[in-house]
Structures are given as structure tokens and as C-alpha cells.
Chains A and B, each alone.
Chain A
């Protein structure tokens, strides 16, 4: 079973992502409401992939991503940015970080797991 960590400060986004991935793909979903909590959960649980919000109070998404990439325990875990920033300049900035993929809010809960699988090249999901 795939294990996904969603890091987002919005409660409803975490709830929708969790139910969507559990109901449509049967994945286990871990949640964290901040970058710091996300790093702690990722370190303890070693998820198969991380969905990471960009704009969060405190440690934002890019800072969280860079921190994880500097940690040998976490550097191999694919990270997908989940953002409502749709302007091209923002997308270029996010791509230059080295994230695996960028998905946009609002997303369709029914197809989110498929989008994630395609982004990560998971053929068996």
C-alpha cells in the first residue's frame, strides 16, 4: 500500500486529500499542518511521496523542501508541490527548486490519485 504525506496548513485541504486518496486509490495518507511537523512526520514514517503546499505560515513549502533535500534520510522521497499559484513565473521558480512535479489547486478529488501516479511514474496504481 502506498503511503502519502500531505503537508498543508489548510484543514479542509488535508481532509479532502486524505479521503480522496484513501477512497479512490486505497492509499494510506499521513498529514501535517506545517513544514516543521511535515519534516518530523516524514522522518518518522518515510512515506512513498510527499504532497507539499507552497504558502504556509512559518516554514513555507520551498524552505521545507530544501530542508528535506539536505537530509540524507529524506532526500530520496519524491515531493510534489500542491499550489494555487498558477502564474508562469511562479511555476518556473518552483520547477527550479528540483521538485518532482507541480499539481495545482483546485484539484478534482476523484482524479488526484491518478495525477499523482502519473507524475511519479507509478504504473501499478
Chain B
């Protein structure tokens, strides 16, 4: 097995193993969206979502989703600034991320 094949096999295995964790992380982002839409983003949710988007920004590209990394980076920036006008973009970005990952989240 070549180095590339070994790495590809590990990435595929890790993606499958971490899919429940990814779903959990997306659920937190969904909760942040609900709170943003209600005009009351809880600070604990914001901090949790900020941590999640940072992790997603660093990992999705490794697993072949550069678009996922870009979306997560944008969300991390918005959640870090925590400005109302910027937070208005969060629901669309979370929807885009779900759409980007849709085919890879289905069993």
C-alpha cells in the first residue's frame, strides 16, 4: 500500500468514526442559529459554537472539504466578533455547511 493509499484509508476511517461527533457539532450550530433568529444568542452557546467552528475550520479541509473549511472560518470570524449585523449571516452559513456536507453525512 502506498503512503497516499494508507492516508486515504485512515481519513475514510476517521470520517466514519467521527460522523456522530460531526452531527453533534452541527446540532450546536443549529441551536446557535435558533438563538440568533430569536435575537438572543446565549453567551455559552456562542462560545461553544466558536470552538466548534474553529475545530471544523482546521479539520474539514484535511478530509477533502475545503469549502467546509472556508464556511467554518467565516462562521468563526462572525461568532468571534459577536456583532448583531454579522451574526445575521450565521443561519445562511450553517445551511451552506450542511448542504456542503450532506452527501458525506448520510449513512
Binding site for B on A (CB under 8 A): 10, 12-13, 15-16, 19-20, 23-24, 55, 83-87, 105-107, 109-110
User: For residue A107, which residues in chain B have a CB less than 8 angstroms away from its CB?
Assistant: 62
Closest to B4 in A: A110
Give the secondary structure class of A's interface: loop
Q: Which one of B60, B62, B77 lies within 8 Å of A16 (CB-CB)? A: B62
- A15-B14, A16-B10, A106-B69 are contacts. A23–B3 as well, Cβ < 8 Å? yes
Instruction: Add 20 more A-B contacts to A106-B59, A106-B62, A109-B62 (CB < 8 A).
Output: A10-B55, A10-B58, A12-B14, A13-B59, A13-B62, A15-B10, A16-B10, A16-B62, A19-B6, A20-B7, A84-B54, A84-B55, A84-B58, A84-B73, A105-B59, A105-B62, A106-B58, A106-B66, A107-B62, A110-B7
Q: Report how many residues on chain B are interfacial, defined by Cβ distance under 8 Å.
A: 21
Closest to A82 in B: B58
- 3 A-B pairs with the lowest CB-CB distances in the bound complex, closest first: A106-B61, A84-B58, A105-B58
User: For residue B33, which residues in chain A have a CB less than 8 angstroms away from its CB?
Assistant: none
Binding site for A on B (CB under 8 A): 3-4, 6-7, 10-11, 14, 18, 51, 54-55, 57-62, 66, 69, 73, 77
User: For residue A15, which residues in chain B have a CB less than 8 angstroms away from its CB?
Assistant: 10, 14
- A12-B14, A12-B18 are contacts. A109–B7 as well, Cβ < 8 Å? yes
Q: Report the Cα distance A51→B62, complex, angstroms.
A: 17
Q: Report the Cα distance A13→B60, complex, angstroms.
A: 11
B62 adjacent to A10 (CB under 8 Å): no
**Min CB distance, B61 to chain A, in Å?**
3
Q: Report the Cα distance A87→B60, complex, angstroms.
A: 18
Q: Which one of B3, B10, B11 lies within 8 Å of A24 (CB-CB)? A: B3
User: For residue B69, which residues in chain A have a CB less than 8 angstroms away from its CB?
Assistant: 106
Q: List 27 A-B contacts (CB under 8 A).
A: A10-B55, A10-B58, A12-B18, A12-B59, A13-B58, A13-B59, A15-B10, A15-B14, A16-B10, A16-B62, A19-B7, A23-B3, A23-B7, A24-B3, A84-B54, A84-B73, A85-B54, A105-B59, A105-B61, A106-B58, A106-B59, A106-B60, A106-B66, A107-B62, A109-B11, A109-B62, A110-B3
